[in-house]
Structure 1
Amino acid sequence: MSTTHLQPTTHIARRMFELLEPICLVTFMADECNEELAALGHRTYWDGYFASRAAPLGQVPAHVVHAAFYNFADGEVARHIPSAWETISPAASVAARERGSAASLRRILGEELAGSPGLARAADLTTKAAISAPTEGRVMYAGMRTLDVPGDPVARLWHSATMLREHRGDGHIAALLGAHIGGTEAHVLSALEMNIHPPESFGRIHHLPKERLATVMDGLRERGLIDADGHFTNTGRATKQRIEALTDELAAPPYDALSPAELDELITELQPITAALVATDSQ
């Protein structure tokens, strides 16, 4: 008897996140994607990041990207959108991101694993899950669903894993909104969960104006989520745990498209792929 179907769906969603996230991270951690985007004419890493990730939404204004991404500070998106699209189309940015990400996966995995039947099967099953979920309330996921699924197995695995990442991200934003946690506040809670202290030193927010960070920290203290020294209170830790649990719950629906046997097979085929990526930090 399969053991996967005996697990709560939230556990499956968390396990799939652990297996798929290293595949998605090559886009941000490895060199090939940035090189492809730079070759198009994107001037900086962040030009390429905002332009290529937001591109499935079409050529939308900065405030729409800011709303969809959620966790960037006011004004950060507007420094890159829409100027990054002035001479480079969203479609070109999407294609460059896919090329670079697939190239990174092939390099890290090597020919034997990248060309294996197991990877092709993992790509097929990941795609089956990724195209199955409802799009209502899932802005970034819905944008990804408008794109063609690549034929190449490596590119298809990356593409479908990224669809599922955006699906999960949309749900995470819903969980944060329900807990009344803003984007910068979410980074503070994540930093504390990773034992980064002071949390203001976290790489995603350390560059923000000190006055802005102080206001965020003061607000978290007033709500009883962090203490005077900037550590989690019991209430703060419980709040973070509830957000993560709801995120897992909301991320589960795509995997309903897979049978228990297919879930077992997908996990088995993804394990060596993920292990190879984790060993290199997806770089």
Structure 2
Amino acid sequence: MTDTAPSTSETARRAAQSLELLHAFIYFAPEAEERFAALGLDRGRMAYYAGRAAPMGAVSAGVVAATFYNFNPESVARSIPRAWSIAAPQDIVEARLQAADEALRRMLGDETATSAEVAATAELAAEAAAACDPAGKPLHAGHADLPWPQEPHLKLWHAATLLREFRGDAHIAALQDAELSGLQALVLHSASGQGFKQSAARSLREWSQQQWAAAEGELRERDLLDAEGEITAAGTKLREDVESRTDAMSAAPWQVLGDRVEQLIDSGRGLVRALAKAGAAPRDLFGRD
């Protein structure tokens, strides 16, 4: 009999994907923009940088650029540390939690947000998140030091955030092992057609055309892009190697659930579909230009 059980790495990737939007919706939610604006933060980049970095405290622009990895450090420095003089990190953390509450209730509806399904999903996700070792994972560690929300839908969001940042910190380690800078990784991901469109990636991460072109040249020298800027077979293989390494380094939280991980994946996918249907993330940012 052939063993068709999914591998640990495959499970880690599937599980992460099943919960991704349960974390990432906050970056597109108008509720977050309004909450941050009420604190006096500039809309757009400052709100994003401060909102995501605030759990680490009033850190420097260098720390934010290092932990976010593929954003232009010059862009980060235009907002950080100025953001901390406008609003204290703890106030930003609280505003973000309030925005998550409002956005989830709007998109899922109060009945679903307070349902037994969400509560059960939150408990599984929280159990997985509790198994994350923060050593060497600074962005995850900052979020892990925050108190757990008690409402099930917010507990689920917090757990999804911890799991996402845990994987993200591991992903940066894998990218560095592959000798890919943040910008190079962003260019290669866009070329694959599986991430942001090139125009969106360059705009959202605030890289100039010259900086983007220079990174493309560096990737061509390694035969990761061809002359037209398309990803090569070598580039595709390197990206898969990086993802596999990321899977291996972020598998621990899913392993503690055993067979129950499939329950979490199924439930997470259902909730993500509901969020996507409600417009939780703009679809025109992804794919190819």
Identity, % of aligned positions? 37
Q: How far does residue 269 in structure 1 lie from its aligned partner after superposition?
A: 2.6
Question: CA contact under 8 A between 1:99 and 1:155: conserved in structure 2?
Answer: no
CA–CA separation in structure 1 for the residues paired with 2:272 and 2:246: 21
2:266 is matched with 268
CA–CA separation in structure 2 for the residues paired with 1:96 and 1:167: 22
Q: 1:222 to 1:31 in 2, by over 3 A?
A: same
Q: How far does residue 196 in structure 1 lie from its aligned partner after superposition?
A: 8.2
1:229 is matched with 228
- For the residue of structure 2 that corresponds to 1:143, the secondary structure is helix
Question: CA contact under 8 A between 1:30 and 1:282: conserved in structure 2?
Answer: yes
CA–CA separation in structure 1 for the residues paired with 2:207 and 2:97: 31
- For the residue of structure 1 that corresponds to 2:149, the secondary structure is coil
Q: How far does residue 221 in structure 1 lie from its aligned partner after superposition?
A: 0.7
CA–CA separation in structure 1 for the residues paired with 2:153 and 2:234: 43
Query: RMSD of aligned C-alpha atoms?
Result: 1.9
Deviations 1:127-184 (A, max 9, x none): 1111211111111111111000100111111111001110010011011001001111
CA–CA separation in structure 2 for the residues paired with 1:271 and 1:195: 19
Q: How far does residue 111 in structure 1 lie from its aligned partner after superposition?
A: 2.1
Q: 1:154 to 1:234 in 2, by over 3 A?
A: same
Q: Which amino acid aligns with 1:25?
A: A
CA–CA separation in structure 1 for the residues paired with 2:101 and 2:249: 28
Deviations 1:213-262 (A, max 9, x none): 221111111111111111111111111111111122222111122131x2
Q: How far does residue 195 in structure 1 lie from its aligned partner after superposition?
A: 6.4
2:111 is matched with 112
Q: Which amino acid aligns with 2:33?
A: N
2:58 is matched with 59
Q: How far does residue 14 in structure 1 lie from its aligned partner after superposition?
A: 1.2
- For the residue of structure 2 that corresponds to 1:108, the secondary structure is helix
Q: 1:213 to 1:64 in 2, by over 3 A?
A: same
- For the residue of structure 1 that corresponds to 2:74, the secondary structure is coil
- Aligned pair count reads 277
Question: CA contact under 8 A between 2:23 and 2:160: conserved in structure 1?
Answer: yes
Q: 1:74 to 1:43 in 2, by over 3 A?
A: closer
1:245 is matched with 244
Q: How far does residue 263 in structure 1 lie from its aligned partner after superposition?
A: 1.6
1:203 is matched with 200
Question: CA contact under 8 A between 1:114 and 1:154: conserved in structure 2?
Answer: yes
CA–CA separation in structure 1 for the residues paired with 2:195 and 2:141: 33
- For the residue of structure 1 that corresponds to 2:201, the secondary structure is coil
Question: CA contact under 8 A between 1:126 and 1:160: conserved in structure 2?
Answer: yes
1:128 is matched with 127
2:23 is matched with 24
State the TM-score, normalizing by the size of structure 1.
0.92
1:139 is matched with 138
1:212 is matched with 211
Q: After the TM superposition, which residues 11-50 of structure 1 pair with which residues of structure 2 at under 5 Å, given as runs? A: 11-50=10-49
Question: CA contact under 8 A between 1:52 and 1:97: conserved in structure 2?
Answer: yes
CA–CA separation in structure 1 for the residues paired with 2:20 and 2:65: 22
Greater shift in the superposed pair: 220-229 or 263-272? 263-272
Question: CA contact under 8 A between 1:113 and 1:273: conserved in structure 2?
Answer: no
CA–CA separation in structure 2 for the residues paired with 1:195 and 1:137: 28
Deviations 1:199-222 (A, max 9, x none): 7x4312145322222211111111
- For the residue of structure 2 that corresponds to 1:76, the secondary structure is helix
Q: 1:92 to 1:177 in 2, by over 3 A?
A: same
Question: CA contact under 8 A between 1:66 and 1:77: conserved in structure 2?
Answer: yes
CA–CA separation in structure 2 for the residues paired with 1:47 and 1:209: 18
Q: How far does residue 271 in structure 1 lie from its aligned partner after superposition?
A: 3.0
1:76 is matched with 75
Q: Could you list the structure 1 runs, at least 4 aligned residues long, displaced by more than 3 angstroms after superposition.
A: none
CA–CA separation in structure 2 for the residues paired with 1:100 and 1:263: 28
CA–CA separation in structure 1 for the residues paired with 2:174 and 2:192: 17
